[in-house]
Structure 1
Amino acid sequence: MKTNNVKIFLLPAFLLLILIACHKDKTTPDVTVNDSDPFSTFFPGEVKPAPSATCFNGAYYRKIVSSTDKWLGINGRVVLPTIIFDPARTNPAKPGQYLDNPSVYLGGNMGAQETDIGLTWEVIKDEKGNVSPDRKAFRPFLRRTSQKSGQTAAYLNAPASSPYYWYPGEEVMMSIQIVADKKIKFIVEGAGKRYETDFDCDGYSLNGSGEFKRVNAIDQVSNEGKPVQNTKTRVENAVWKETNLYRMYQDKVVSVPMHSKRLTDMRCPDPRYFKIVATAEDQKKGAETISINGSGY
């Protein structure tokens, strides 16, 4: 009788263990480590991304961001979006310009130093050297915050010259990569044009841990840290054909897909302002089509 009682007691306990195991299976990522193909799955020991992240006020932006791990940078290929400005949102301090400003960029955070590096809608110079009163093209920019080393914050633009102007509908490849301790290389090229420069960032190192991001935004003039301002501005059909992260693997730097299990998905300040289209195949390679509408969808 004692033996039977023990069996009766163990049966529910065994079922409980099965239920716990099933629950764990349901929360395990669909993509698991595959030593034969860590590029499309995960590398052994790779840190998984956070399920969510807090939005920063001041802009409408679509951001994907990696885990904090031994990444060395990020790259992506994108067709630049179409822009439709809200005519009621003109900038009183700069006639001809708007209080909304589109940008498409990469960036990261390492050593408590944030970077934003890519393309922003900017003024240009014509053939005679005259600066346009309105913003007319995407131009490269580089921004870093200050760092505990004493390095100060900085913001730089590529020269206002036609080889560095890109326009809606043009396809570009952008990349930022740590090439030495405290140094990032930025390259943007496409439509027969190319810009390349090194950018000193004391927080970034070849052996450090950091996160890297890709962002499409409607930035708003003098609105950083504040709630977004109502706008009818639309920035539509930015087509990312791929997004990849750099990592050291088998003693060489490789470019690995930023697939849907390798990123945190952010749509700020609210998903209703975004239309994101991505097939299952797109999600394997960090591809998607992004539209942003300040009036919502």
Structure 2
Amino acid sequence: MDNIAVKPLEIKIALQKQACFGGAWYHKVMSIEYPFYGIEGTVTLPIPFIRRYDQNYKAKHVVDLNHKNLDVSSIYMGGHASDESDVGLALFRGYLDDQISTGAFVYRPFWRYITDEFEDIGTYDLEKGRNYAATLLSERNGIKNIYAQYHPSFTEYYYLPGDTLKLSLFSPKPNFMQLQITVIDVSRLPYSANLRRRYQMKVPQTFLSPMFSSKGHGTDMPKTYKRVNAIDQVRNEGKEAILTKTEILNAQWKNCFLYYKENNTLFKTL
């Protein structure tokens, strides 16, 4: 989605009240409803000071790799056409000296989608080139809520505080979406540089997710898009957010654009 001209979208539509789903602390910026074709934004990843852990463990570090965290930092985008799809980065566990960590400490890609069509549910199969797993979270009347992520052995898709990335959510064909994460600048923060060196992580690379079903996207159907900074909370989805001392510092959105078409030409608008 590079080399698309930026052109203001000159329309006047009343802003709609945002609906906020319980169980997390977050800042959400949502678009108007319009036949958009995707969203992109450039962001510098924050430093997560996680302070809620299993068994009331008291952390002394930025994150504790050896204890299960109950707060999760996430930076993501989403689109709502017929149903909602979210994509982006969340703080996940990763490999430390060939063993998976107990606590989450690296930002890794995820994509979540709701569908009654192409579901793609399944586990990893690295030998056959399936490097991701897609898990059924819930199902109602044949509508499936699916969560997918890449295998943690691919350390080139570990992103750390201070990395500057361009996130793009777009439709490669009607009724499907895809996430691309492009590396703009690698973090120079001592915390991140030391983690990469100590655990021999590969240099971060551009990531492209598989296509996933998302009805209405890639068509002229009116849609809304969003960008979100969140503190998600383990086993608390849909409930009242739990008070926490966790801090997620210095997330910086450099820009954010929406894709739209005019005379069948694709443009970007702020």
TM-score w.r.t. structure 2 length? 0.73
Q: Which residue identity is paired with 1:169?
A: G
Query: What does residue range 92-131 of structure 1 map to in structure 2 within 5 Å?
Result: 92=55, 96-111=67-82, 113-126=83-96, 128=98, 130-131=99-100
Partner of 1:3: none
Q: What corresponds to 1:225 in structure 2?
A: 238
Distance 1:205 1:251, change over 3 A: closer
Secondary structure, aligned partner of 1:71: coil
Higher relative contact order (CA 8 A, sep 6+): 2
Q: Which structure is larger by alpha-carbon Rg, 1 or 2? A: 1
- Contact 1:151 / 1:202 at 8 angstroms: preserved in 2? no
**Which structure: greater helix fraction?**
1
TM-aligned CA distance change 1:84 to 1:38, over 3 Å: closer
Q: Does 1:173 align with 2:180?
A: no
Pairwise CA RMSD: 2.4
- Which residue pairs with 2:106 in the alignment? 137
How far apart, CA to CA, are the structure 2 residues paired with 1:148 and 1:243? 30
CA contact (8 A) 2:117 2:213 kept: no
Structure 2: distance between partners of 1:47 and 1:147: 34
Question: Percent same amino acid at aligned positions?
Answer: 28
184, 201, 205: which one aligns with 1:193:
205
TM alignment of 1:41-80, pairs within 5 A: 42-43=9-10, 46=11, 48=13, 50=15, 52-80=17-45
SS of residue matched to 2:254 = strand
Comparing 140-149 and 117-126, the one that deviates more: 140-149
CA deviation string 1:228-287 (max 9, x = no partner): 101000001101000000101232211211xxxxxxxxxxxxxxxxxxxxxxxxxxxxxx
Question: Residues of 2 paired with 1:93 and 1:229: CA distance?
Answer: 14
Provide closer, same or farther for how the CA distance between residues 131 and 186 of structure 1 changes in structure 2, counting only shifts above 3 A.
same
Q: CA deviation at 1:200?
A: 1.9
* CA–CA distance in structure 2, aligned partners of residues 54 and 121 of structure 1: 24
Q: Which amino acid is 1:39 matched to?
A: K
Mind listing any 5+ residue stretches in structure 2 that lack a counterpart?
58-65, 119-141, 187-203
Q: 1: CA distance between counterparts of 2:117 and 2:172?
A: 21
SS at match of 1:180: coil
Contact 1:176/1:184, CA 8 A, preserved across alignment = yes
Stretches of structure 1 that go unaligned for 5 or more consecutive residues are: 1-36, 258-297
- Contact persistence 2:115–2:213 (CA under 8 A): no
Q: Residues of 2 paired with 1:186 and 1:93: CA distance?
A: 36
1:211 is aligned to 224
Matches of 2:77 and 2:268, distance apart in 1: 15
Q: Equivalent residue for 1:9?
A: none
Q: 1:167 to 1:249 in 2, by over 3 A?
A: same
- State the distance in 2 between where 1:229 and 1:240 align: 26
CA distance in structure 1 between the partners assigned to 2:14 and 2:92 by the alignment:
33
| CA-CA distance at 1:154 after TM superposition | 1.0
Deviation at 1:206, TM superposition (A): 1.8
- Given that residues 63 and 213 in structure 1 are in contact (C-alpha distance below 8 angstroms), is that contact kept between their aligned partners in structure 2? yes
Please list the CA deviations of residues 180-206 of structure 1 after superposition, one character each: whole Å capped at 9, or x if unmatched: 111112100213411102222234242
